Structure 1
Amino acid sequence: MTSPLNEQDGTTPAVEAGTTGVTPRPVMDRLPKYVAGRPPAPVEGLTSYKLSSNENPLAPLQAVTDAIVHESRINRYPDAVATRLRNALAGFLGVPADDIVTGGGSLGALNQILAAFAGQQDDGTQDEVVYAWRSFEAYPISVGLAGAKSIQVPVLPDGRHDLDSMAAEVTDRTRVILLCTPNNPTGPALRREETERFIQSVPGNVLVVIDEAYQEFVRDPEAVDGIELYRKYPNVAVLRTFSKAHGLANLRVGYSVSHADVTQYLRVAAVPFAVSSVAESAAIASLENYEAVVGRVQTLVDERDRVTAGLRDLGWDVPDAQGNFVWLALGESTPEFAVQAAARALSVRAFGAEGVRVSIGETEANTRFLELCRSFTKVSQAS
């Protein structure tokens, strides 16, 4: 049926919003909406700080900035498979370049994995993806959009993955398992021994994805190394990113590392040209200056340790923090804490009535956060 023409000028009249009959897939009504960390509201007399997005507060290295400035080929499409970056990463990690598939951040790389390995079968049954919860808030969105079913396993009281319970949830419909380490937003990192034992308990046809977006911040000597396990187990894939430690969040450069029988499908699922030549050159420059990156990361780790020690001195029960953030399990007090932070020109990431994740930022911001926690503790104890 054709649309009626406007009697005056012969054009098709505009259709009122909501009357087109165009409807989304049913899953869209069931998916949570991704909530990005909000910038801080200005407060007179105070410098505002954003502690809500786990960003690196330090500006990029000069070598990275130079690489961005000198990248002039923006009138051309970038190399679709980011060959220069993959070769640089291959040398850096000691893995074959063909085992690396780049994506728009580690989330883009994850979406490629889900698109290739988890969704809806021809008979209409849904594949299952198992992951801890609470964990990275994009997981249920990505899994749902892929057409698969989320199997969420609550984290332990200390914020760690409950690997035994996750193993118990694996069925013949399980296609992918997501292990976020350090876990965002709670903070603890998975240990090598427990992770390897878990992988050994999982059928070999299930892809175990080790999401290591914050790997460079980890200082636990027993923490898992995803690349080590990828070398040992053919059903392990690793996600990493340049957004956090390297401070390139705006450029969206991530990648997965997995074996050839996995990457052959990831390249089919990959979004073409997801990593621009500007982003590729910046990432390579950062790798070439990795010692400087490590030094800057250590300053943030030192601040993280200062903050966690300060919180514990104040009586807060804080999970082990191995990323560039800390977690406060505030429960029903979560919204009030966020409001009080905003009054101090600090933006934090509040998760409903569960808790607050606070990124490690500039020294002044971290100190102001500790001051808030001191006064908030007193208010809570008095109420």
Structure 2
Amino acid sequence: MTEDVPVRIRPEIAALPPYRQGKQAGADAFKLSSNENPYEPLPSVVESLRRTVGVNRYPDATAARLRTALAERYGVLPDEVHIGAGSVSILSQLMLAAAGPGDEVVYAWRSFEAYPGLVLIAGATPVEVPLTDGARHDLDAMAAAVTDRTRAVIVCSPNNPTGPIVTQAEFEAFLAKVPADLLVVLDEAYAEFVTDPDAVDGLKKLGRADHPNVVVLRTFSKAFGLAGLRVGYAIGHRRILDAARSTAVPLSVTAQSEEAALASLAAEDELLERVRTIGERRDRLADALRAQGWSIPVAQGNFLWLATGEQTMDAAAAFESVGCIVRPFAGDGIRISVGEEESLDRVLSAASVVLAGLPVDHAGRR
């Protein structure tokens, strides 16, 4: 029996479990549960933080320097860039701005675990569309799920936690099927890790003038290794982003976050060399798991998916027993972040043990 809430809370919020991040790792374990970059920030980024003083003063609420830098990079106006405390905070702002009681928001499932909560917090109804075989978005089914109550659709590419991308052709075909005044959020938190040339790219391939209803989300948390500083951004139509800005918690992006993001942009070539290393490591790990007999979706983020099904929690314990903290989704599967090179042997050792315990006809097997 759950404890009674001592004040009047919206019932759907009282029933909503808080977001839970990936489990922390002890000193002798590899933390592979939160899709973090295993590399420390570059010395130039650390130096930029050292120079940032004045924590007794509020930051620039508009993060104007970072907005300007990103606008120049992507050929847009500064007002078409919005900075938030991670891309998930901007997604929350967009949901609050676009959807409310009686409205619906469509997204694929399973996808990023924060989506259902953000929709419910806005007062809207989540509409979850199952993934296809191969753990990919079913964009045809998502388009068919759009009704006159739908206020937003979220497309996650590469899909977290399963890994596959949406192609450019698929995304543009999807846009042609949905109303032009429907907010479409393209969540590209892992875009820098993508190597598939056919993948959607909301900032380089998509004609923004043709699709003003699309807002693209990116982050400095993953590829740029600034997860602890919480800074992400959106690029889209100024009036849509103004609506998001209106719902934002003021002053949530710190001066340190903005400074580190600017320094990271300046060192992008060096940082993306690390990203290429992680991508190569991801592909080697996926190949090795398939060689063991696992069925692994085509991964384009910095993580891999094991469809362990009903055996998920036991499988997570097996990984933890060898010092690998992974992210279990009970009843579905395990997401394994690509971490340090030294972690790979442990991951493969535990995966082999888990696979041996799965039924012969298990969906996680090849």
Residue 370 (structure 1) aligns with? 348
After superposition, give the CA deviation of every residue in 1:130-170 in whole Å (9 maximum; x if it has no partner). 00000000000111001111000011121100111111110
Instruction: Give the secondary structure class of the aligned counterpart of 1:226.
Output: coil
Matches within 5 A, 1:194-205: 194-205=170-181
> Pairwise mapping of residues 131-146 of structure 1 onto structure 2 (< 5 A)?
131-146=107-122
Q: 2:74 aligns with which of 93, 97, 108?
A: 93
Q: 2:33 matched to 1:52? A: yes
**CA offsets per residue over residues 14-70 of structure 1, 9 Å max, x none?**
xxxx7884121111134243221002356xxxx310000000010001111011111
1:256 Cα deviation from its structure 2 partner: 0.9
Query: What one-letter code is carried by the residue in structure 1 that aligns with 2:206?
Result: L
Does the 8 Å CA contact 2:48/2:259 hold for their aligned counterparts? Answer: yes
State the number of aligned residues: 357
Aligned to 1:22: 7
What's 1:354 paired with? 332
Corresponding residue to 2:154 among 178, 194, 212: 178
**Is 1:118 the counterpart of 2:99 in the alignment?**
yes
Q: Assess if the C-alpha contact under 8 Å between 1:41 and 1:342 holds in 2.
A: no
- Counterpart of 2:180, as a letter, is G
Q: Is this contact kept in 2: 1:252–1:275, CA < 8 A?
A: yes
Contact 2:319 2:351 (C-alpha < 8 Å) held by counterparts = no
Counterpart CA distance in 2 for 1:190 and 1:30 is: 33
Q: Distance in 1 between matches of 2:355 and 2:6?
A: 52
- Which sections of structure 1, spanning at least 5 residues, go unmatched? 1-17, 121-125
Between the aligned partners of 1:303 and 1:100, the Cα distance in structure 2 is 33
Question: What's the secondary structure of 1:319's corresponding residue?
Answer: coil
Question: Which position in structure 1 is the counterpart of 2:242?
Answer: 264
Structure 2-normalised TM-score? 0.94
Paired residues for 1:185-334 under 5 Å: 185-227=161-203, 228-229=205-206, 231=208, 232-334=210-312
Distance in 2 separating the partners of 1:201 and 1:19: 46
For residues 212-237 of structure 1, what are the alpha-carbon distances to aligned partners after superposition, in whole Å with 9 as ceiling and x for unaligned? Answer: 00000001110000123261301100
- Root mean square deviation of aligned Cα: 1.6
User: Is contact 1:241-1:253 (8 Å) kept?
Assistant: yes
Hey, what's the Cα distance between the residues in 2 that align with 1:294 and 1:316? 29
- Provide the TM-score with structure 1 as the length reference: 0.90
Q: Distance in 1 between matches of 2:242 and 2:313?
A: 45
Change (3 A) 1:202 1:377: same
Contact 1:170-1:202 at 8 Å conserved across structures: yes
Alpha-carbon distance in structure 2 between the residues aligned to 1:145 and 1:272: 18
CA-CA distance at 1:333 after TM superposition: 1.3
2:62 maps to which residue?
A: 81
User: Which residue among 152, 172, 197 is the counterpart of 2:128?
Assistant: 152
Question: Partners of 1:382 and 1:243 in 2: how far apart?
Answer: 39
1:66 and 1:258 map into 2 onto residues whose CA distance is 32
What residue identity is the alignment partner of 1:330?
A: T
- Letter of the 1:87 partner, please give it: T
Q: Is the CA contact 1:213–1:244 (under 8 Å) kept in the aligned structure 2?
A: yes
Give how far 1:381 is off: 6.0
Paired residue type of 1:244: K
- Overall identity of the aligned pairs, in %: 48
Amino acid in the other structure paired with 1:88:
A
Gapped regions of structure 2 (runs ≥ 5): 362-366
Distance (whole Å) between structure 1 residues aligned to residue 138 and residue 23 of structure 2: 30
Q: Would you say 1:31 and 2:16 are equivalent positions?
A: yes
Aligned mates of 2:279, 2:70 — CA distance in 1: 24
**1:363/1:77 CA distance change after superposition, 3 Å:** same
